[in-house]
Structure formats: C-alpha cells, structure tokens
Structure 1
Amino acid sequence: MYQRFRDWRDDGTFDRILERLHIRLNREGLIDLDTWMIDSTAVRATRASSGAGKKGGLKNR
C-alpha cells in the first residue's frame, strides 16, 4: 500500500487528481474563494507547548 502511495506521489497522480477536482468544483461554482482555512500542521508550536517550558520560567526542583 505504501509503495503505491509513493508511486502516485512521485509520478504526479495526486497532483492530477487534485487539479481535476479543483477545475470541476470551480466550474460548478462550489468553491468559495472568500473562505480560508488553516489547520495545526501549518501553525508552528511554541516551545512551551512541546514541553520545553518557557524561557525564564519556574524551574522544577
């Protein structure tokens, strides 16, 4: 399964699928260009959220 995923990624299959889907949805008026979305994969975590603690914060004893 992973090998097929890699093949499709490398040969551009996923890019072609997304491009055709985008063209179709846009043609049918189903894409709202006024709406933007973001998820946590695009937001950088702070040091504190990764368990590193804050600079100058209280130290554990």
Structure 2
Amino acid sequence: MLSTVAFEILDGRITTIRGVTDPDELEHIGPLADAFAVQRKAFATRRSPEGAGPG
C-alpha cells in the first residue's frame, strides 16, 4: 500500500475527499510498499525497449 483515499458522503453526495500518504498514519492498516522502489520500477518499465521483459 502506498496511500489511501477516503470519501465522506452526505445525502448521497461526496462532501470531502481525503488522501493519506504519511507512512506513520498508514502503518496500522497493513504492510506499506516502498514508494521509491515502486517509482523506480515504473520508470524502468516505461524506459525499457519495446518487447523487453521487466528488469
């Protein structure tokens, strides 16, 4: 997990959207991902030659 998004709904309408990315506030929910590793992998995948496997 990298982040969460919470929606507050009143009378069937979204009234507030909250995003939480602070690891200290998320660790009680479950295991956290290494955001930098995820970013590096995504960047490497986009930059790899077409047809090449993930690296």
Which protein has the bigger strand share? 2
Q: Larger Rg: 1 or 2?
A: 1
What is the TM-score when the length of structure 1 is the normalising length?
0.26
Structure number with the bigger relative contact order (C-alpha 8 A, sep ≥ 6) is: 2
